[in-house]
Amino acid sequence: MKCLVIIPAYNEEENIVRVVENLKNNYPMYDYIVINDGSADGTARICRERGYELVDLPVNLGLAGAFQTGLKYAYRKGYDYAIQFDADGQHRPEFIGPMLEKIREGYDIVIGSRFVTEKKPHSMRMLGSNLISAAMKLTTGRRVKDPTSGMRMFNKKMIAEFALNLNYGPEPDTVSYLLKQGATIAEVQVEMDERIAGESYLNMTKAMMYMLRMLLSILFIQNFRKRREVKVS
């Protein structure tokens, strides 16, 4: 049962070596692919010089485009599972194993959640997360405790969904949409590290706009979304 670790990377020259070397040296049971999303720094050059598994996009597609590229790769290579894994070092590979155990119970999606057994801290960011969680509960009947977690694992059926349909971003609104279409989901408690190098693109203003966009999409836009049926052999 093959699992692919998909690492979308945009301007992560300060982090990519640490992330990939940790996977290669300590978790060789997992395959990986770096999706360089048109970085303006030395991310692609470093990956090529070190012989990393790399898909080098000529332009910046954004996280959704980069991750869908990774899932198209997983689909064509016949992987059973694929996991979104941040290139900034926040995601910890020791939790891939527990997530694999959970998804093998028959789930379509498993989220690496910070809040299965831990309480959410009080902050503006967590307020946004709670609002998204409430919107997903309202529209799907399912409570997702950590809807903004970027550490998500997908089974073969979901890999095909992302690979063969358009506009499938790895965001809470897509997870909400898939839940409404009958996908099953579980959460596994994980711990995440803080970014130690480079800068996040998500400042306070962008974070607020992101939360608003997700809420509008979950509550309204997803009702008009068209889906292409896919079959997995």
pLDDT of residue 215 exceeding 70, the answer is yes
**pLDDT score at 219:** 92
Q: In percent, how much of the chain has pLDDT > 90?
A: 74
pLDDT of residue 140 exceeding 90, the answer is yes
**pLDDT score at 96:** 98
Indicate the SS3 state at residue 216: helix
Reported residue count of the chain is 233
Task: Record the tokens describing residue 16, joined without a space.
Answer: 């990519």
C-beta neighbour count of 226 within 10 angstroms: 7
DSSP labels, 107-142: -SEEEEES-SSSPPPPSHHHHHHHHHHHHHHHHHS-
Strands 81-84 and 185-189: unpaired
pLDDT digits (tens, 9 = 90+) for 143-202: 999 999 999 999 999 999 999 987 777 789 999 999 999 999 999 999 999 866 656 555
Average pLDDT for residues 21-39, to the nearest whole number? 97
- Domains in the chain, start-ordered, CATH in brackets? 3-224 (3.90.550.10)
Which of 67, 233, 33, 63 has its CA nearest to residue 162? 67
pLDDT digits (tens, 9 = 90+) for 104-137: 999 999 999 999 888 877 776 788 889 999 999 9
**pLDDT score at 27:** 97
Q: How far apart, in whole angstroms, are the C-alpha atoms of residue 31 and residue 40?
A: 26
pTM for the structure as a whole: 0.90
